[in-house]
Amino acid sequence: MGDTSSNQMWGGRFAAGPDAIMEAINASIGFDKRMAAQDIAGSRAHAAMLAATGILSDSDAAAIREGLLTVLSEIEAGKFTFSTALEDIHMNVEARLKTLIGDAAGRLHTARSRNDQVATDFRLWVRDQIDAAIEGLQALIRALLAQAEAGADWVMPGFTHLQTAQPVTWGHHMMAYVEMFARDLSRLRDARARMNECPLGAAALAGTSFPINRDMTAQALGFDRPAANSLDAVSDRDFALEFLSAASICAMHLSRFAEELVIWSSAQFRFVTLSDRFSTGSSIMPQKKNPDAAELIRAKVGRIFGANVALMMVMKGLPLAYSKDMQEDKEQVFDAADNLMLALAAMEGMVKDMTANRSNLAAAAGSGFSTATDLADWLVRVAGIPFRDAHHVTGTLVAMAEAQGCDLPDLTLAQMQSVHAGITDDVFGVLGVENSVASRMSYGGTAPAQVRAQVARWKEVLG
């Protein structure tokens, strides 16, 4: 029974026993093959530097350069066979390189370690993802600016506690998200600037005795400078954590907007119509048009923020320098990056395609006594009443209108004067929603003129 029982204990996949388990847990090629282009770029820069410093002969460097380009073309064409036995992308590339060019391939790894190699690859990969996310955010912001410009003077209700508060404009609401996503853009740019240091040349943890030129490799790979401490260079992943943190905040903003689109597209609101391209039907209810894309965007923040927490937990207890735990740094980042890019692209598509239902927005803007604050402000500004008293007078008038089943502008002047004698006919000039939004001319306010000024400013910023 011994061997059979033992094999069954491991389960079918690991019927071969501990060796199979060790290979499965140790190998990272299943996911780190995504860094193939970055790995080969790093190796090409390293080989060129080794030749320039006389550590590697020109002939070996030339063979390595051509061989690496062949490997890259094989990978890009889908003709490369990845081996779990070779553990990771670095060893897979080097093994294939040896098959192609022979012993010269063995000299490529001079004056470096897989520790600084993977740290370099991963930085390059995250940097590429940040650049892609920046482009995605810029496209989304442009789509929002187009909506804001088109609806700069379309009135709609503004909410607090999801209760009607004061009238705003469609353009102003769109521009609120421009500000949020622009801060996301800024965070990503900050993260990129901070992470743009090259670990290559830190070797295993202590640097190397070979006369390498780290400035040369850093420059070749587009880094601003070499990382200044070899221990830090190979053992920290805060650049990935900062990317995940910025991605989490961005996903939260996407989720908030997605939630509004779900609410706004409902039969109860009908503020927006989403295109068929970003909606689905029901299998049994023919009247349904479900905002599935928005709902899926709303869910993305869970997995992106989860990736941030997961990597933080991996890193929090690791002594310097490298530990194998850090192999767990990539899958979560890969998944988060994929989902952030998908969410950004889907939101851009929805924003470009969606149609605001202007008449429904306007009707809702005037409901719920939305101009009550305008009335209170008028009482302070024109009638000279202290704001607390004006608040009380306005509340009494709201109760009166509510009892009569009408809105504030529908009350007669006599009715208003029965509550406060200082009210004049001029008050009706502030009670309409159009008048309300037009009056909000403070910087950052909802007045159409302010909205158009902000649109113009952001268009200039984006170029």
Catalytic residue (choose from 282, 323, 359, 367): 282
Instruction: Answer yes or no: 392 catalytic.
Output: no
Contact 291, 261 (CB under 8 A): yes
170-195 and 448-462 helices, crossing angle to 10°? 30
Instruction: Answer yes or no: 282 catalytic.
Output: yes
Contact 98, 106 (CB under 8 A): yes
46: CB partners within 8 A, 6+ apart: 108, 111, 112, 200, 217
Catalytic residue (choose from 5, 161, 283, 442): 161
SS (H, E, C) the chain: CHHHHHHHHHCHHHCCCHHHHHHHHHCCHHHHHHHHHHHHHHHHHHHHHHHHCCCCCHHHHHHHHHHHHHHHHHHHCCCCCCCHHHCCHHHHHHHHHHHHHHHHHHHCCCCCCHHHHHHHHHHHHHHHHHHHHHHHHHHHHHHHHHHHHHCCCCEEEEEECCEEEEEEEHHHHHHHHHHHHHHHHHHHHHHHHHHCEECCCCCCCCCCCCCCCHHHHHHHCCCCEECCCHHHHHHCCHHHHHHHHHHHHHHHHHHHHHHHHHHHCCCCCCCEECCHHHCECCCCCCCCCECHHHHHHHHHHHHHHHHHHHHHHHHCCCCCCCCHHHHHHCHHHHHHHHHHHHHHHHHHHHHHHCEECHHHHHHHHCCCCCCHHHHHHHHHHCCCCCHHHHHHHHHHHHHHHHHHCCCHHHCCHHHHHHHCCCCCHHHHHHHCHHHHHHHCCCCCCCCHHHHHHHHHHHHHHHC
Cα–Cα separations (whole angstroms), residue 240 to 10, 176, 244: 35, 28, 6
Contact 104, 60 (CB under 8 A): yes
Cα–Cα separations (whole angstroms), residue 177 to 19, 60, 285, 337, 351: 53, 54, 33, 21, 11
- 258/183 Cα distance (integer angstroms): 18
Residues serving a catalytic function are 161, 282
